[in-house]
Amino acid sequence: MPGKCDDKLLVQLLQKGNVTAFDSLFEVYSPKLYGFALKYFKNETDAEELVQEVFIKVWENHHTLKSELSFKSYLFTIALNQIRKHFNKKATSLRYLESLQNDPEFSDQITTDDYETTLRQIYRIIDQMPERRREIFLKSKLEGKSSKEIAAEINISTGAVDNQVSEALLFIRSRINIETHTLLLFSFLFIY
């Protein structure tokens, strides 16, 4: 297993396009990334795809790698960003809706019309929020930005960002029609 010195050397070689160095880093870190991803996805296929996506990004950016920085931290930062993007896409895609429609428990309850009606209801509620809270919430939940990114953009603390997102979620929950499928859809769109 490579240590920090070995990682540094492998990254230096990888910067020059050395495929063997890339393969060595993949061999060491792919099992760790896979285990990490599996904790989030609970699905082997998605975990495997994440590992592939992370290493594709590493290869695409191999010229810009910095050997003095922790390669492991770099990998796991990419992984976390990919996981966040995955869940944001999943939450807003109709693929999730289709999987619910195939579930006997929900197939009679939720339709595309229900989905669209719920989205319209949620967006009307979001429009009622104070402007700053709405801006922060949309950056967080729709654009997938981290609290740190939002805080830097609008010059407030990350704690203030987190507080505004929490307040926005409470605001929506308190005003949404409480039906099982509506609440479930809301949860997957904006919470997970």
* pLDDT score recorded for residue 1: 44
Of 45, 69, 91, the residue at which a domain comes to its end is: 91
Tokens of 86: 């995955």
Of 70, 91, 112, the residue at which a domain comes to its end is: 91
Give the angle subtended at the CA of 186 by the CAs of 137 and 49, to the nearest 5°: 85
* pLDDT score recorded for residue 4: 54
Q: Mean pLDDT over all residues of the chain?
A: 79
Residue 178 has pLDDT above 60, yes or no: no
Could you tell me if 45 and 53 are in contact, meaning their C-beta atoms sit under 8 angstroms apart?
Answer: no
Q: How far apart are CA 77 and CA 165, in angstroms?
A: 22
DSSP annotation of 155 reads T
Of 60, 91, 122, the residue at which a domain comes to its end is: 91
What's the total number of domains in the chain? 2
Band (pLDDT 50/70/90 cuts) for residue 2 is: very low
**Is residue 80 domain-shared with residue 159, that is, in the same domain?**
no
Helices (H), strands (E): how many in the chain?
A: 11, 0
Q: Which of 14, 79, 61 is nearest to 2 (CA)?
A: 14
Q: What is the pTM of this model?
A: 0.48
**Is residue 133 domain-shared with residue 158, that is, in the same domain?**
yes
Band (pLDDT 50/70/90 cuts) for residue 142 is: confident
Residue 95 has pLDDT above 60, yes or no: no
Residue 184: give the domain boundaries.
94-190
**Is residue 138 domain-shared with residue 70, that is, in the same domain?**
no
